[in-house]
A and B are shown apart, each in its own frame.
Chain A
Amino acid sequence: MTKLKIPKRVSSALLNSLGSGVVPRVGLEYISVGREKEMGALLSDLEHIREGSSSFRFVIGRYGSGKSFLLQLFRNYAMERNFVVTDADLSSDRRLAGTEGQGLATYRELMGKIATKTQPNGGALPLILERWISAIQTQIAQETGLRPEDSNFDQQIEAKILLTIKNIEGLVHGFDFATVIINYWRGYRTDDTIKKDAALRWLRGEFTSKLEAKNALAVRVIIDDSTWYDYLKILAKFATDIGYQGLIIILDEAVHLWKISHPTSRQHNYDKLLAIFNDTMQGKAEHLGIIVGATPKFLEDPKRGLFSDPAWQRRTDRSRFVKPGMTDYASPVIQVGTLTQAEILDLLSNLTEVYSSHHERANVLQKSQLEDFINVLRNRLGSEILLTPGEIVRDFLSVLNIMQKHPEMSLQQIVNGNNSPIDTEKKRLRTDEDDAGMAEFIL
């Protein structure tokens, strides 16, 4: 791990994200530690999806426990293994269903962030579309011997696109869908970027009215709140047809569904989630993996959580045989546990390596110093509840930055404070354990 050459772009993005307390999108594999069981369960799902089935998982963890990190890391692993991935953070504007197009908003976000190994930052929809069309081209060239320069090549391509789309099961409005793809093809052939863009916009659900779509592409339908999930399944099928292993969809911050105050609206969203769950678990979707990240109250709140809905309770309740400390990885719920001390030490050690390699300096910190650092953090008030890997990492990076700017100061000095009166008093209180009878306050 230490000798790997990390591209500057990646290490820069990684350190910047972590320094601001945000989950990075790239470079996670250089610092990931622990969580073997959780990742193992998700990776074994990938194997099943590769073979054609589908999976649905909840990844539940406290705020800052590293659940989003786990999801992003898994996203990167899936891309490396030749899956198409996409993700979206739910919010007040992005849900699964809603009267103001909040479901479609999620779809738009997902379609904008489609990513593959070679396009890890999203926007891979044109690649997938062109790969699909290229396969059609190859078929036509093989069947008819025509080449792109020949006069009726385009006609053959368009006919083949129509035929192939018609044969897709479960696709309503197949003719319109095929027309959109044909428009993309025509736009490409005639260098009409407006037409190409219009086709991509349609596929991303960015048309808000049928009239707009009719004027731009001569189609009578648009993707809307009731059909967007079906188009995601089509995307999964496309992805597999062109050689990828499947489609992985990650929906994080699902707690925003819990936050919906209107009960009917909230129930609609839970029902939509249930429909998606049933679809995947009953084998009606193929090569599709869906992972929903949320905090525990999303599931466990007895009044508003998913558990308040008996249909969900049956599906996600912990098996009565699973005792605390054990984990049931067959259940759709994966609980993200806390990192152990050793794992946190490894994490900081990896971070130091990345930092040193990025700034092209030698690594000057030893394990004992890292241990001291962690102990200082743990000694802060409220750390048992509030201290999360995200915070530890952020604080550590700030310390590394200080060390770089002030090479004369040692880690000890930086971490143990500037010897202000409050800090010294705090230290005195901590070490004064003989007088444990009375509490003392400093104002």
Chain B
Amino acid sequence: MVINFSLFCQVVLGASFLLSFLVNQNWQSALGGSIVAFISGFLGLMAVGRQQMSGQRKMITVLEGKIYHLQDVEQHMEESLNLLAHQHRQVENHTKFLQTELSKLQSNISGQKNYKDQLNTDLLNLDKYNRQLEEETQQWQTRILQLEKQRVNLDMVINSLCDRKKQFESEVEVLEEDVDVLNEFKLQLEAQLTNLEDKIRELETPLAAIAPAQKPKVTLRNPQLPTEWQEFASRLTNIELEILRAIADQNNPNALLKKIAQSEITMPELLIDGINELALATINDLIIQPGSNPPLIAETEYIQNLRQLFAAKISSF
């Protein structure tokens, strides 16, 4: 009960003063009576108020207990709510996972089904191929039998040919002996021929003496360079020709070799070696004597050929 204290004071004081004044017609006793009324009213209000307050306090404590209880309950509820939410999430994840698994398995299954179909078709193809191969094997076997027969025939033919070959060989031996005999006869005839030629010459000299010598002298034509030397000449470079000329003329070949070696960035032995390699390949012999210092032509007869070679090279320019 909310009390408006100023209103209470006013009313109690006023009412008591009036009443007392009415009764007593004495303003001092009226005032005193109003003050006593005021104080007793105040004390009564205080007692009531205290009683109310204790009652309210009790209610407060009860209500506070209930509040704590409800707060506990609220906490439990919150916890269980969280738990449930968590479990819900878990279950959701699990469901998702299971769904993906499911879709994978389904695709796997469809893959396996395709593979199985493929294998079935392969199996059918292999069956066909196997049958084909069996047919082919049979064909090849018949062919092998045919060839075996042919081989046997050919063996017989070879045997007969061997016999004939032996016959021929013996004939050849006989003929060789004949050839030997004929060779001897040929030698004899050649001897006879030389005899006859001698006789002819003997007879010719008197004839030549009779007819005055008006026969023109047969001049030997310069024999042409043999083919292997021509090949050698054609494959020589100008530098190699120069070197050979210097060596053939013994015209200070070492100095020339060094000069050429420096200008061609090589060494003198290699120049000689190159020429000799070419000579081996064409005229089947070395042209510069290895190890000679100063370098010399290997054979004196080669110098003749070289002179011809140089002349031919000059005329070809």
Q: Which residues of chain A come closer than 8 Å to B277, judged between CB atoms? A: 117-118
Asked if B270 and A121 sit within 8 Å, CB to CB, the answer is: no
Is A194 part of the binding interface, using a Cβ–Cβ cutoff of 8 Å?
no
Q: How far is the CB of B216 from chain A (nearest CB, A)?
A: 30
**Residues of chain B from 259 to 288 with CB closer than 8 A to chain A in the complex:** 262-263, 265-270, 273, 276-277, 280, 284-286
Segment 362-416 of A: residues with Cβ below 8 Å from B: 364, 366, 368
Complex: how many Å from CA A7 to CA B280? 11
- In angstroms, Cα B291 to Cα A60, docked, is 33
Q: Could you tell me if B265 and A137 are in contact, using CB atoms closer than 8 angstroms?
A: yes
> What is the chain A residue whose CB lies nearest that of B277?
A118
Docked complex Cα distance between A116 and B270 (Å): 12
B267 surroundings in chain A (CB, below 8 A)? 130-131, 133-134, 137, 188
Q: Is the CB of B183 within 8 A of A127?
A: no
- Interface residue total, chain A, C-beta cutoff 8 A: 32
Query: Is A366 within 8 A of B285, CB to CB?
Result: no
How many A-B pairs have beta carbons closer than 8 Å: the answer is: 65
A182 to chain B, nearest CB (A): 15
The interface residues of chain B lying within 8 Å CB-to-CB of A138 are: 265
- B298 located at the interface, meaning its Cβ lies under 8 Å from any Cβ of chain A in the complex: yes
A366 cross-chain contacts in B, Cβ below 8 A? 180, 183
A119 & B290 in contact (Cβ 8 Å cutoff): yes
> Is the beta-carbon distance between B262 and A368 smaller than 8 angstroms?
no
Q: Does B72 contact A (CB under 8 A)?
A: no
Contacts of A119 in B (CB 8 A): 273, 276, 290-291
- The proximity string for B residues 168-190 relative to A, scoring 1 for CB distances below 8 Å and 0 otherwise, is 00000000000010010001000
Annotate B241-268 by CB proximity to A: 1 below 8 A, 0 otherwise: 0000000000000000010001101111
Judging by beta carbons under 8 Å apart, are B290 and A8 in contact? no
**A211-227, CB under 8 A of B: which get 1 and which 0?**
00000000000000000
- Whole-angstrom distance from the CB of B249 to the nearest CB of chain A? 21
**A30-78 with Cβ < 8 A to chain B:** none
Contacts of A9 in B (CB 8 A): 285, 298-299
Q: Is A123 positioned at the interface, with any CB of B under 8 Å from its CB?
A: yes
Stretch at the interface among A141-149, A283-291, A295-303: A141-149
Task: Tell me which residues from 140 to 183 in chain B have a Cβ below 8 Å from any Cβ of chain A.
Answer: 180, 183
CB contact under 8 A between A148 and B265, given known A7-B284, A130-B270: yes
Distance in Å from the Cβ of A194 to the closest Cβ of chain B?
A: 14
Within the assembled complex, what's the spacing in Å between the Cα atoms of A436 and B191? Answer: 47
Once bound together, how far apart are the Cα atoms of A149 and B258, in whole Å? 12
Given A118-B290, A119-B290, A121-B291, the answer on whether A131 and B285 have CB atoms closer than 8 Å is no
In the assembled complex, A126 has its CB within 8 A of some CB on chain B: yes
CA A5 – CA B265 in complex, angstroms?
36
Using known A-B contacts A9-B298, A10-B285, A123-B290, determine if residue A118 contacts B276 with beta carbons closer than 8 Å. yes
A8: which of B180, B263, B291, B299 is its contact (CB, 8 Å)?
Answer: B299
A118 and B286 form a contact (CB under 8 A): yes
CB proximity to A under 8 Å, residues B284-302:
284-286, 290-291, 298-299
What residue in chain B is nearest A131 (Cβ atoms)? Answer: B270
Smallest Cβ-Cβ distance to B180: which chain A residue:
A366
With a cutoff of 8 Å between Cβ atoms, the chain A residues found around residue B270 in the complex are 127, 130-131, 134
Contact string, A2-40, partner B, CB cutoff 8 A, digits 1/0? 001101111000000000000000000000000000000
Looking at the assembled complex, report how far the CB atom of B81 sits from the nearest CB atom of chain A, in whole angstroms.
Answer: 85
Q: Is A351 an interface residue (CB 8 A)?
A: no
Chain A proximity of B266: nearest CB distance (Å): 5
Chain A residue numbers with a CB within 8 Å of B286 are 118, 120
The closest CB in chain A to the CB of B292 belongs to: A123
Q: Are A118 and B280 closer than 8 Å at their CB atoms?
A: yes
- Check: A124 CB closer than 8 A to any chain B CB: yes
Give bound CA distance, A148 to B265, whole Å.
7
Q: How many angstroms between the C-alpha atoms of A368 and B183 in the bound complex? A: 13
A61 and B299 CA atoms in complex are apart in Å by: 37
Q: Which of A4, A149, A364 contacts B187 (CB 8 A)?
A: A364
**Does A131 contact B269, Cβ atoms closer than 8 Å?**
yes
A-side contacts of B183, CB under 8 Å: 366
Write the chain A residue with the least CB distance to B302: A7
Q: Which residues of B contact A191 (CB under 8 A)?
A: 258
A188 CA to B269 CA, complexed, in Å: 11
Q: What are 11 A-B pairs at a CB distance below 8 A?
A: A7-B284, A9-B285, A117-B280, A118-B276, A124-B290, A127-B269, A127-B273, A131-B270, A131-B273, A134-B266, A366-B180
Chain A residues in the interface with B (C-beta under 8 A): 4-5, 7-10, 116-124, 126-127, 130-131, 133-134, 137-138, 141, 147-149, 188, 191, 364, 366, 368
Question: Which 9 A/B pairs are nearest by Cβ-Cβ distance?
Answer: A130-B267, A119-B290, A130-B269, A118-B276, A7-B285, A123-B291, A148-B262, A127-B269, A134-B267
Q: Knowing that A131-B270, A141-B265, A188-B267 touch, tell me 14 more A-B residue pairs with CB under 8 angstroms.
A: A118-B277, A119-B273, A119-B276, A119-B291, A120-B290, A122-B291, A124-B290, A127-B269, A127-B273, A130-B270, A131-B267, A147-B265, A148-B262, A368-B180
